[in-house]
Amino acid sequence: MQAQKNNAAKTVMEEQYQFTITDKPVKIVQSENGTTYTLLINRAIDDANTFENLVIKYENDGSINATIINYQPFYPLNTMNYFTGTAFNGLQSVTPIVYNDALVSTTGKISSDCYSVCTILCHDLTESGPYSVPHPPGSSCTGNNVTIDCVVTCWGDNIGGEDAGNDIGTADNTSGGGTDSSNNSGSVSTPPNNCGNCNNPIETAPVLELGEEEETLPKKACEELNKMINKPIGNATPPKTVLTNLNDLKSNVTTNKERMYIMSPTLDSFGNINHNLYNENYAESAENQDYVGSDFGGIIIDIMVHTHWNTAKHLSIFSLDDIYDIYKKIASGQISLENQNYFTTMVITAHGTQYALKFSNIHDFVAWGNNYFLGWDVAMSNPNQASPFKEAKEDKFYDDTGIKLGNTPEIKATNELGWASFIETNDLGLELYRVNDTFTQFTKLSTTLMGGLKETPCTN
Ligand SMILES: [Zn+2]
């Protein structure tokens, strides 16, 4: 199922090459020469036997390269057979595209270009289920389970032939040169005549079309918020609840570090996920720091709460980075269709405000994020420098919404309205709630037809 996207939200690139970026979570690969985003794309007329990925690489030198990889699995109806060993089990072709709105000539010199496509797979195999075979890495894959397998394919081979010409055979690595065999028989042709691009391979973790996760039934956000605070924390002595952790952050909110709790579901004795008993992880930043890394590995996250401890340096409400954090945790599988209804992120501020976010539609959220957050986290050669793509988005966001630093009642009200209207205008698939002092009352914030703030309290 794909979320419908209106044309206004389409990028120039989607319009030009006639595809749509879907709402499947992005896969992000960082390596020493850049950051690669892999996204599933759809065509208006869909070929059921193939799937396509848009692969965008932000190079360390500031340039951007984009390609579309077409995958034609030998067994399209069974994702269990999509990968054998370390490689894709089927035919692949690569089409270079222009990332920005400049027009490209798709004839002439570009047609002889070849690419080294490196497929990243995870081998943290379980005995049964989808993870009994190699698969694109998800939440729990650690470094030593990952394989990278590179093969060379030439874009020019696409022209004028049946599928045989543009397909990948069985090359194992880039040093083996190009392969041009028509199937998996292992025959190898001469190396490609132009592989300048092979020094800079496309590293991609494929995003599949099939293999949807189980989706839990939608629940009322208010109901979940009201239940959430009384859930027990299993790995704490003496025993406590979610509310204990919220009060702990609140009583320390003006100390000079950012603090964070992450609460995760436990497993019951049958190995089922239990969303009514949590384990906690706590982290705090160094003194006077604004960011606490919330990476606790591949654990599932139901509740994520952090503080904004300085009224001069931090917002009275969520920042755009806080939203990116949600997006990234979907990409890593820590938030998924399985726990979307339980997922709550909260901020507790030194301004005396506290807010919560819930999903109203996680598909809308991912579809929005797949466009909005492209390039957000690209590695810069100077590690203290933010990505220019992120800076441009942030400038526009704070200009458009009026959200700003400050601790006056007027600024706090502007920030609430700014977020509520941004969420609605852009179909973020999120709901914003104001939380009272004792964490016992949640009030949904949205906008009225006249553009004012609408407050809808949750009933108990
Ligand atoms: Zn924050």
One DSSP character per residue, 286-329 reads STT-S------SS---SEEEEEE--TTTS-SS--HHHHHHHHHH
Per the structure, the count of domains in the chain is 2
Collect residues with CB below 5 Å from ion ligand 1: 319, 322
Final residue in a domain of this structure, among 147, 170, 204 = 204
State the distance from the centre of ligand 1 to the C-alpha of 30, rounded, in angstroms: 24
The structure tokens listed for 56 are 């965008």
One domain for residues 121 and 228: no
State the distance from the centre of ligand 1 to the C-alpha of 142, rounded, in angstroms: 27
State the distance from the centre of ligand 1 to the C-alpha of 136, rounded, in angstroms: 30
H or E segment and range at residue 71: strand 64-73
SS3 content of the chain, % helix, strand, coil (to 5): 25, 30, 50
State the distance from the centre of ligand 1 to the C-alpha of 418, rounded, in angstroms: 16
State the distance from the centre of ligand 1 to the C-alpha of 322, rounded, in angstroms: 5
H or E segment and range at residue 21: strand 20-21
H or E segment and range at residue 228: helix 221-228
If one counts every other C-beta atom within 10 angstroms of the C-beta of residue 135, the result is 22
One domain for residues 437 and 404: yes
State the distance from the centre of ligand 1 to the C-alpha of 307, rounded, in angstroms: 7
- Sign, CA dihedral 221-226-227-229, equals positive
| Segment 453-457 long-range contacts (CB within 8 Å, at least 24 positions apart) | 453/413, 453/416, 453/417, 453/420, 454/420
Per DSSP, what are the bridge partners of residue 83? 88
State the distance from the centre of ligand 1 to the C-alpha of 256, rounded, in angstroms: 14
The reply to whether 180 falls in a domain is yes
State the distance from the centre of ligand 1 to the C-alpha of 258, rounded, in angstroms: 9
One domain for residues 196 and 305: no
One domain for residues 181 and 283: no
Nearest CA among 439, 444, 442, 441 for reference residue 419:
444
Cα distance between residue 116 and residue 114, in whole Å: 7
One domain for residues 28 and 87: yes
Cα distance between residue 327 and residue 428, in whole Å: 11
Per-residue pLDDT, 285: 87
> Which residues form the domain of 287?
221-457
Amino acid symbol at 305:
V
State the distance from the centre of ligand 1 to the C-alpha of 251, rounded, in angstroms: 17
The reply to whether 18 falls in a domain is yes
Per DSSP, 218 falls in state P
One domain for residues 415 and 299: yes
Per-residue pLDDT, 445: 95
The reply to whether 215 falls in a domain is no
Per-residue pLDDT, 374: 87
Nearest CA among 323, 356, 351 for reference residue 412:
351
State the distance from the centre of ligand 1 to the C-alpha of 314, rounded, in angstroms: 8
Per DSSP, what are the bridge partners of residue 38? 27, 55
The reply to whether 1 falls in a domain is no
State the distance from the centre of ligand 1 to the C-alpha of 320, rounded, in angstroms: 8
The structure tokens listed for 233 are 């924390």
Per DSSP, 99 falls in state S
If one counts every other C-beta atom within 10 angstroms of the C-beta of residue 279, the result is 15
The reply to whether 45 falls in a domain is yes
Evaluate whether 54 touches 370 at the Cβ level (below 8 Å): no
State the distance from the centre of ligand 1 to the C-alpha of 250, rounded, in angstroms: 14
Nearest CA among 57, 63, 65, 60 for reference residue 380:
60
The pTM (predicted TM-score) of the whole model is 0.72
The reply to whether 214 falls in a domain is no
One domain for residues 158 and 25: yes
The reply to whether 416 falls in a domain is yes
State the distance from the centre of ligand 1 to the C-alpha of 424, rounded, in angstroms: 21
One domain for residues 139 and 269: no
The structure tokens listed for 185 are 């028989």
One domain for residues 331 and 428: yes
One domain for residues 164 and 277: no
The structure tokens listed for 36 are 């690669």
The structure tokens listed for 214 are 């189980």
Nearest CA among 89, 83, 179 for reference residue 137:
83
Write down the residue that tokens 């400049």 correspond to: 102
The answer to whether the peptide bond before residue 238 is cis (omega within 30 degrees of 0) is yes
Cα distance between residue 393 and residue 368, in whole Å: 13
The reply to whether 359 falls in a domain is yes
One domain for residues 194 and 232: no
Final residue in a domain of this structure, among 204, 232, 265 = 204
State the distance from the centre of ligand 1 to the C-alpha of 432, rounded, in angstroms: 14
Final residue in a domain of this structure, among 154, 174, 204 = 204
Cα distance between residue 119 and residue 90, in whole Å: 13
* pLDDT tens sequence for the chain (460 residues): 344 444 445 777 888 888 888 888 888 888 887 888 999 998 887 787 889 999 998 888 878 889 999 999 888 877 778 888 888 988 888 888 887 533 333 333 344 467 888 888 887 765 445 556 777 776 556 666 788 888 887 764 433 223 333 333 333 333 333 333 333 333 333 444 566 677 778 888 888 776 544 444 445 899 999 999 999 999 988 889 999 999 999 999 999 999 999 999 998 888 889 999 999 999 888 888 877 766 677 789 999 999 999 999 999 999 999 999 999 999 888 998 889 999 999 999 999 999 999 999 999 999 999 989 988 888 777 777 778 888 999 999 999 999 999 999 999 999 999 999 999 999 999 999 999 999 999 999 999 888 899 999 998 6
One domain for residues 193 and 340: no
